Amino acid sequence: MNSTGTELSIIPMMKNAIRTLSGVTPVAVLTKPFPCPGSCIYCPHEENVPVSYLAQEPAVMRAITNRYNPFDQVSYRLNQYIKTGHITQKVELIILGGSWSSYPFEYRKEFVKSCLDALNKKKSESFEEAASINEKAEHRMVGLSIETRPDLITPKEISRMRNLGVTKVELGVQTTDEEILKLIRRGHGVKEVKKATQLLKDAGFKVLYHIMPGLPGASPKKDLEVFDILFQNSAFQPDMLKIYPCVVVSQTELYHWFKEGKYVPYANSELLDLLIKIKGKIPPYVRLMRLFRDIPANYIQGGSKKSNLREIIREELERRGLACQCIRCREIRNQTPEKNLTLKRINYEASQGREIFLEYIDSQDRIYALLRLRIPSYVFKKSESLFKVLGNSSIIREIHVYGVSTPLSNKGKVQHRGLGKKLIEKAQEITQREFGLGKMAVISGIGVREYYRKLGFKLQETYMVKELK
């Protein structure tokens, strides 16, 4: 109460504000440990921890605390955000734990259902009921990301992912060098990466590659060539990247190679120089999510222990008068926005289809909103689409308005001011006038369906679809 007797609302001070400065609230959860179909030499195998993960990583610690229960993990993380003053209405659910596509489907379905139940604050009788409730829930799942292997991507698996509401797929690519893939016993080659990328993009998914510089058999020169290939060869062209420089941890075969002198990791100065050069190769339509994995230093037996590499590289780029043009480095975040924005368009070929990247930027090249429109490969090949509903249709693979995450009922500095609607109108114009297609589909998160319904889209076979007149 204040001196007049009026009750005052207490708003908690926001901690770690960067978590929600991209417009959504990321919630990472882990599946319980399952056997992995791979046998990579660098992956650790800790007891009661999913393969390739470590018990003291932050997300793993939360999962262990909650016994890998998906409902409890989501509830726990949401409460952490709420207590520290974050807006949690738009949740991007990130499911970690390894090769998602190799797990029993019933487990996966129940896992996502339990996550939705936690967001809905209500346990449902079925997955379908949980999804329906979430369309209008207080905490809506606006995106769902899983991680898997390229050789596990098939039309059947894509159908299963869509039925669960998946919108983004993280692929463990590691490198485009065939000899290195064999040396590290990855279990797949470049052909599987290309095939998986095309299948996913033609179904509308956002595609994120995991890339590992410094693997056995690599060199800084070879690693730089990998990034040239990723963005010069149209068979790749990922939308997002996580760069995980190879480090040596115990409980791996690579550790024995390291002890025997068969593997020597990059020195810190060598790695820093490499990552700065890589930064210069990232196109403006790619989001560089991470530059280093959050592995506790006490686990690392060889390789860099500098967890703040991104900050170090940013400072070094500034010192050299350089700048990274990736999406993450250009986001408006909580900075003061400008009134006059420019709609910029970038066209590029990808997986035998056409990508049109639209972005609203200001005079400083800061990005406010983006849209990824795909004209699928089957349109140009005049073949059948993977799903009947996508025939004669363009696909919006991503639409994102940046800035501080804002409650759905409010107008923010950037969010909820019509930028998304304008981008969709432009995508519709391109779909009709330039390509003569009769439909536009969106790979929508379950919690965003209501937004698209207001713009004339209808739910068909897990996609939001608009017939164009």
* CATH at residue 342: 3.40.630.30
- Tell me which of 303, 329, 355 is where a domain ends: 329
Where residue 410 falls among pLDDT bands split at 50, 70, 90? confident
| First CA to last CA distance, the chain | 58
pLDDT band at 3 (very low <50, low <70, confident <90, very high): very low
Residue 266 lies in a domain: yes
**Is the same domain home to 64 and 176?**
no
- Decide which of 118, 148, 178 is a domain's last residue: 148
Query: Would 298 be classed as within a structural domain?
Result: yes
- 155 inside domain: no
The verdict on 172 and 318 lying in the same domain is yes
pLDDT confidence tier of residue 203, bands split at 50, 70 and 90: very high
pLDDT at position 209 over 50: yes
Going by pLDDT thresholds of 50, 70 and 90, the confidence category of residue 267 is very high
456: left (phi over 0), alpha (psi -120 to 50) or beta: left
Note the pLDDT tens digit of each residue in 116-136. 999 999 999 999 999 999 999
The answer to the question of residue 256 being in a domain is yes
Together in a domain, 48 and 34: yes
* Domain-ending residue, one of 329, 348, 374: 329
The mean pLDDT of 397-409, rounded to a whole number, is: 86
Q: Are residues 320 and 355 in the same domain?
A: no
Three-state DSSP string of 141-205: EEEEEEEECHHHCCHHHHHHHHHCCCCEEEEEEECCCHHHHHHCCCCCCHHHHHHHHHHHHHCCC
Q: Which domain holds residue 214?
A: 166-329
303 and 335 share one domain:
no
Tally of domains within the chain: 3
- For the whole model, what pTM was predicted? 0.94
Computed over every residue of the chain, the mean pLDDT equals 93
pLDDT at 240 over 70: yes
324 and 336 co-located in one domain:
no
- If asked whether residues 72 and 211 sit together in one domain, one would say no
**Is the residue at 6 inside a domain?**
no
Q: Is the pLDDT of residue 345 over 70?
A: yes
Q: Are residues 191 and 322 in the same domain?
A: yes
Is 108 found in the same domain as 78? yes
Whether 301 and 358 map to the same domain: the answer is no
Shared domain check, 446 and 419 = yes
Give the separation between CA 313 and CA 452, rounded to whole angstroms. 39
Q: Which band of pLDDT confidence, cut at 50, 70 and 90, is reported for residue 14?
A: low
- pLDDT tens-digit series, residues 59-91: 999 999 999 999 999 999 999 999 999 999 999
